[in-house]
C-alpha cells in the first residue's frame, strides 16, 4: 500500500485557506424497490472509519437491506489513491476483513477507473456499485441513504423540517468539523469553529424541546447528524481543534447521541478503533507522529433519559 499521506488538494482549498469539499461525481438514482428486486446486484463499498459511509451502513442495517445489498469494507488507513482492500483484519466492528469479493480489487480507485477511465479527481467512499453494468451507480452518501430508505425516513409531513435541518447540519457540523480541521489560516479556522458551535448550541436547544431533530420520530436528519456526533469527542475535539466544548458537555445533544447509539443495530456500526486509526494516522499534516490518543472513551451505553 502506498504510504504517501493524505493531503488536501489545490482545488479543495479556498483563497482564505479554508477547506472546500467537492461534490460527488456519480449521481444516478434508484428506487428502494429496485434494490430489493435483485438481491446481490448492487454492492456497497465503505469504510467504517468514514462518517459519510457510516450513515449508509446504518440505514442499510435499519432498512433490512443486509442481504439485498452486500457490503465490502476497506482498511481505515487512506492514502492518496483512496481506500484500500488490504486483505488484513481488524478486530473492531463488522468490517473485520478488508476484501473485495465482488471484483477482487486492491483499491476502491479501481471502481472509479472501471466506470470512467479518465477519472482524475479524489477517490471517495461510499460507493454503490452495480455488478450487472460494472459501473458506479452513486457515490453521494445522502442520495444512497434515500435510495435505501425510500420515504421511511422522510415522512411527507416532515420533509420541509428535515431538509432545513439537513442543510444547516451539513454545512456547519458534518462538513464544519473538516472546515475547521483542514483550515490553513486563523481566519478560516475561527469562522468554521464559530459556525460549528453555534449550530451545536442550536441543536442542543432544539433537542431540549423534541426527542429527535425533526420531531418525535427518527428521520434521515438524525442519521445524517449521528456519525459526526459519535466521532466528536474522540476525534474532532482534539484532532480538528474543535475544542470549545465536547458533545458530552451539551446536556440534550449528549443524551440524544446516546439515544441513537442505543437503537438496535446501530452500536455494531460504530467501530471506534477504526475511526481513530483512520484520523490519527492518515492526516500527517495534522498528526505527523501518528500517535493515537487513548481517551476520552465516552460511555454511549449510559442511560439517556429520552423517552
What is the CB neighbour count within 10 angstroms for residue 288? 9
53 in catalytic set: no
Distances (CA, A) of 224 to 157, 182, 219, 252, 268: 19, 21, 9, 17, 17
What is the CB neighbour count within 10 angstroms for residue 119? 16
Tell me if 137 sits within 8 A of 115, measured CB to CB. Answer: no
Alpha helix segments (H runs only) across 63-149? 109-115, 141-149
- Considering the candidates 50, 73, 112, 279, report the single residue annotated as catalytic: 50
Grid cell 481543534 in the structure block, residue: 241
Distances (CA, A) of 85 to 90, 280, 285: 12, 19, 24
- Considering the candidates 45, 178, 236, 256, report the single residue annotated as catalytic: 178
The three grid cell numbers given for residue 181, joined into one nine-digit string: 480541521
50 in catalytic set: yes
CA distance 202 to 208: 10
- Which residues are known catalytic residues? 50, 178
Amino acid at each position: 500500500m502506498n504510504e504517501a499521506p493524505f493531503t488536501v488538494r489545490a482545488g479543495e482549498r479556498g483563497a482564505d485557506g479554508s477547506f472546500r469539499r467537492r461534490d460527488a461525481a456519480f449521481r444516478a438514482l434508484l428506487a428502494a424497490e429496485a434494490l430489493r428486486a435483485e438481491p446481490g446486484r448492487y454492492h456497497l463499498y465503505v469504510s467504517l472509519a468514514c462518517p459519510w459511509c457510516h450513515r449508509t451502513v446504518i440505514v442499510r442495517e435499519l432498512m433490512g437491506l443486509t442481504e439485498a445489498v452486500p457490503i465490502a469494507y476497506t482498511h481505515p488507513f487512506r492514502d492518496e489513491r483512496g481506500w484500500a482492500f488490504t486483505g488484513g483484519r481488524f478486530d473492531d466492528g463488522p468490517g473485520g476483513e478488508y476484501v473485495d469479493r465482488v471484483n477482487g480489487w486492491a483499491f476502491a480507485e479501481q471502481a472509479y477507473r472501471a466506470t470512467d477511465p479518465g477519472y482524475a479527481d479524489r477517490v471517495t467512499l461510499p460507493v454503490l456499485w452495480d455488478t450487472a453494468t460494472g459501473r458506479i451507480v452513486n457515490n453521494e452518501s445522502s442520495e444512497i441513504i434515500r435510495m435505501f430508505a425510500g420515504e421511511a425516513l422522510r415522512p411527507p409531513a416532515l420533509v420541509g423540517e428535515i431538509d432545513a435541518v439537513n442543510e444547516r447540519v451539513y454545512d456547519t457540523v458534518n462538513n464544519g468539523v473538516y472546515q475547521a480541521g483542514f483550515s490553513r489560516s486563523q481566519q478560516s479556522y475561527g469562522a468554521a469553529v464559530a459556525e460549528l458551535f453555534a449550530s451545536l448550541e442550536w441543536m442542543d436547544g432544539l433537542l431540549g424541546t423534541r426527542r429527535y431533530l425533526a420531531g418525535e420520530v427518527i428521520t434521515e436528519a438524525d442519521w445524517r447528524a449521528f456519525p459526526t456526533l459519535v466521532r466528536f469527542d474522540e476525534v474532532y475535539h482534539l484532532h480538528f481543534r474543535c475544542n470549545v466544548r465536547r458533545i458530552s458537555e451539551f446536556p440534550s445533544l449528549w443524551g440524544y447521541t446516546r439515544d441513537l447509539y442505543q437503537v438496535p443495530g446501530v452500536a455494531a456500526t460504530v467501530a471506534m478503533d477504526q475511526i481513530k486509526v483512520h484520523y490519527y494516522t492518515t492526516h500527517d499534516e495534522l498528526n505527523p507522529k501518528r500517535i493515537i490518543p487513548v481517551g476520552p472513551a465516552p460511555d454511549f451505553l449510559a442511560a439517556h433519559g429520552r423517552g
